[in-house]
Structure 1
């Protein structure tokens, strides 16, 4: 028995030192998933168990009453058929192949809207097609406006499935009257009662545009398989929802301002997997309310897993913020690929928006990005927050001061970037408690830190043109077993 134990020990020792002799970049490049191993094209039928370090949740495919109805191309009664199914107790509404047009659609409990292969559902372009206004949240602020092309409020057990296509509004009053002249907190007074915040194109000369799919206050939401194009705003936005699965979506919104792919807003127990995103803004983002209005609601986004997704174009492959007043926590992102996005992993807050995040882990991520790979952008731009965008502008800590802490990043392969790690914290609220393990990075610059504390970079390697650490206001930076090589 001792001989067997000794042999096992020697084999393990040999394996350990064998791995240690292989350069980190080859270890990661050989073990991490590549672009053709993630995204919508790789979607399996069965859903794998979820393993998160922060929570346990079984996500199961929903079932619906054995009751069906169909919509053939050219019919205009999608909403009426949903309403009749709902009154009967629920079921499946099938949109058959062909071209369909509609104004806003509102899902009801126990309804699966199934858009079959070859079906195209195009949404109308006039404000009148989205009236009356409905309760919604736009960029983290509650109000009454157009809602979403596919909307639900307070529904349970709903689904939007199929391999068909959804196309957002084209040229018309929806886009012509979309509010773009200011940031929303300057438009919607947080002291105004929510029921009086009405934007229907008549109370003001603008509206807040509809997302493509946006359930609010819903439970057990399943969105799968669809192709989404030409959104007027964010594409998929579950808000105040519980038990949400988003899988196998292909989203195309390149060139659309604020054309985010998937935004999780103050929702709990969420799985996003096998999605492919080409977007005009952030590919996948986690949010939790904005400023005083977000603090009033005070609902976090928590217990979230994102896996096997391909962010192919967009501002950020995966972003937290910039609206985080209710906090973002217990988020686990693993086995994703970001190719060609501006930034890989991005944390965004703003001094006047509140919140932040904690207990967040990234693992097994491959990226090639245009600018920063791992980015903390906590001050923002003067365009949006004025002088507060400067770290030299003194601000006393207050209830809207955001804070990020307890963040782990492990097994990250950065094939190309301008900045491998770039942190802009806040002087009165430094970034705190970030651990980097087994990071391989190629880029122009290795490390820039502003206002951060207790940062550990461990067992990592960087090949960069500029290897100097650029730091201001940093306490407790530790680099252990970090190899730095000058890029030629």
Structure 2
């Protein structure tokens, strides 16, 4: 059995055939016109992209050296190549991410800075190479204006009014901003405005997306976040943001047909993450995340090695993770949602997964959440939730599952009205990890080797 800690260092040039227990297309890299532009000192990268896009596309090459830029917006048929030895350093100034663009934050559609590398409605786009994408420093202006989170009330507002650009007073939304040092809600401090932080790489509404070879370093927020996208390939990528709050590795959000392989994530929050919108906002969008294959990868430090949720409104289905090593997470595999989030996850397969020293438990389902966020809806027998927003988890299967250095193997907390249903573990090896806690579950089978 070849585990990912070995495999991730040997990313082959070609993409091997994709095998999955569901219908999955054989994804291919996008092909670009032969035109090439090499960035020179003093040249604006965005201007070079725009000019090349008008000619029909091609490759913009960032050569060895240190290069500074604001937000980059990819256009159709554009490949951004960051060569080995190149460092693409992104600004931390708010003005470099304006005007605001359509984006999604914590499962809710809004207008904000979008992403450091952004696209909207593009087809055939890529960021490739052996260079580095470097986030701004922790004392940047972006973090000084960051918000504490998207309030539930925002979902009731017209989309055009959901503007988070750092200029609108916080009391419009009824919440405080976070201080940049602690990243915690502070009743004693109120900044001038509210800002939705840009993710690192965040295409929207795009098809045929490739991210390959690059290293993402020191993110200030989520790293790789395709939203409403189709045909996504992420391979040979390294994310290095351990110890930095709110820095998910890869969030596949309301997107379909995604391949993630030979990738290593070392994060301050969840590593591999699957999302599909939040509450009524996501339910009405009805854009599930589906057909996702994660193989030959390593998840290192993070809250969850792989997390399904907590934004699950449109549903997460048809996921196959195999030949993956998860090292030192808080939770190895984490299924989380809450009553008002809606949707859920189904038809999820995990095969040949090795987990080393999960700090809390190896596999965890939590459908109740916390009263801090959902109030009385976190009570086990509460019946106040809109039935349309009752989540589910079902048809989840593990085969060839090894856990080392852990006490709690499984904790599953479902809902009385929606139990965790049809879960199977086969060929389990967890000699030190035996504790199982189940509440509100249906069929739940664990078979050792």
Compute the TM-score of the two structures, normalised by the length of structure 1. 0.85
Q: CA deviation at 1:407?
A: 0.9
Match of 2:367 in 1: 378
Is 2:164 the partner of 1:199?
A: yes
Hey, what does 2:344 align to over in structure 1? Answer: 356
1:312-358 deviation digits (Å, cap 9, x = unpaired): 11111111100010000011111100011111111111111111011
Is residue 46 from structure 1 mapped to residue 24 from structure 2 by the alignment? no
1:56 positional shift: 2.7
Give, in whole Å, the separation in 2 of the partners of 1:442 and 1:66: 56
Aligned to 1:391: 380
Which stretch of structure 1 is more off in the superposition, 233-242 or 425-434? 425-434
Question: Is 1:413–1:439's contact at 8 Å kept on the other side of the alignment?
Answer: yes
Structure 1 residue 296: deviation in Å?
1.6
| Correspondence list, 1:291-302, <5 A | 291-302=279-290
Check whether the contact 2:36–2:58 (CA below 8 A) recurs between aligned residues.
yes
1:145 is matched with which residue?
Answer: 112
Deviation at 1:457, TM superposition (A): 1.9
Structure 2 CA distance for aligned equivalents of residues 32 and 413 of structure 1: 13
Distance 1:196 1:251 in 2: 34
**Mapped contact 1:127–1:174 kept (Cα < 8 A):** yes
Match of 2:151 in 1: 185
TM-superposed deviation, 1:32:
4.8
Residue number in structure 2 paired with 1:231 = 219
Normalized per residue, the structure richer in strand is: 1
Determine the structure 2 residue equivalent to 1:474.
none
Query: Partner residue of 1:338?
Result: 326
2:23 aligns to what SS in structure 1?
A: coil
Give the CA deviation at 1:452.
Answer: 0.3
- 2: CA distance, partners of 1:34 / 1:193: 45
Match of 1:254 in 2: 242
Q: Please state if 1:55 is matched with 2:43.
A: no
| 1:160 to 2:127 alignment | yes
Which piece of structure 1 moves more, 213-222 or 394-403? Answer: 394-403
Q: 1:169 Cα shift?
A: 2.3
1:415 Cα deviation after fit: 1.0
Aligned to 1:367: 355
Q: C-alpha distance in 2, partners of 1:426/1:32?
A: 37
- In structure 2, runs of 5+ residues without a counterpart are 170-192
**Could you report, residue by residue, the CA deviation over 1:432-468 in whole angstroms, capped at 9, with x for unpaired residues?**
111111111144542100110111223x16xxxxxxx
- Please name the residue that 1:429 is paired with: 418
Q: Among 53, 58, 66, which residue is 1:86 paired with?
A: 53
Deviation digits for residues 405-430 of structure 1, max 9, x if unmatched? 11111110011223111111112211
Q: What do residues 358-381 of structure 1 show as CA deviations (whole Å, max 9, x unaligned)? A: 111111100011121111111222
Question: Which structure has the bigger radius of gyration?
Answer: 1
Shift of 1:90: 0.2
Q: CA deviation at 1:131?
A: 0.3
Equivalent residue number for residue 438 of structure 2? 449
Structure 1 position 66 matched with structure 2 position 55: no
Equivalent pair of 1:268/1:301 in contact (CA under 8 Å): yes
CA contact (8 A) 1:97 1:116 kept: yes
Write out the 4+ residue segments of structure 1 that deviate beyond 6 Å after TM superposition.
none
**Secondary structure of 2:155's aligned partner:** coil
Aligned length, in residue pairs: 424
Contact 1:364–1:412 (8 Å) recurs in 2: yes
Contact 1:32–1:366 (Cα < 8 Å) also in 2: no
The residue aligned with 1:220 is: 208
CA distance in 1 between counterparts of 2:435 and 2:234 reads 35
Aligned 8 A contact 2:222 2:247 in 1: yes
Deviations 1:178-223 (A, max 9, x none): 112xx4133x521211122111111231101000000000000000
Residue 393 of structure 1 deviates from its aligned partner by 4.1
- Structure 2: how far apart are the matches of 1:457 and 1:395? 34
Q: In structure 2, what is the Cα distance between the partners aligned to 1:172 and 1:314?
A: 24
* Separation of aligned partners in 1, 2:410 and 2:154: 37
Distance (Å, rounded) in 1 between the aligned partners of 2:72 and 2:385: 46
In 1, distance between residues paired with 2:310 and 2:320? Answer: 18
CA contact (8 A) 2:406 2:432 kept: yes
SS at match of 1:189: helix
Choose which of 70, 73, 91 in structure 2 pairs with 1:106: 73
- Aligned-partner SS, 1:453: coil
Residue 394 of structure 1: how far off its partner (Å): 4.5
Change (3 A) 1:104 1:396: closer
Which of 411, 414, 417 aligns to 2:406? It is 417
TM-score by length of 2: 0.92
Match of 2:302 in 1: 314
Rounded to whole Å, the distance in 1 between the matches of 2:59 and 2:390 is 46
| C-alpha deviation, 1:386, in angstroms | 2.3
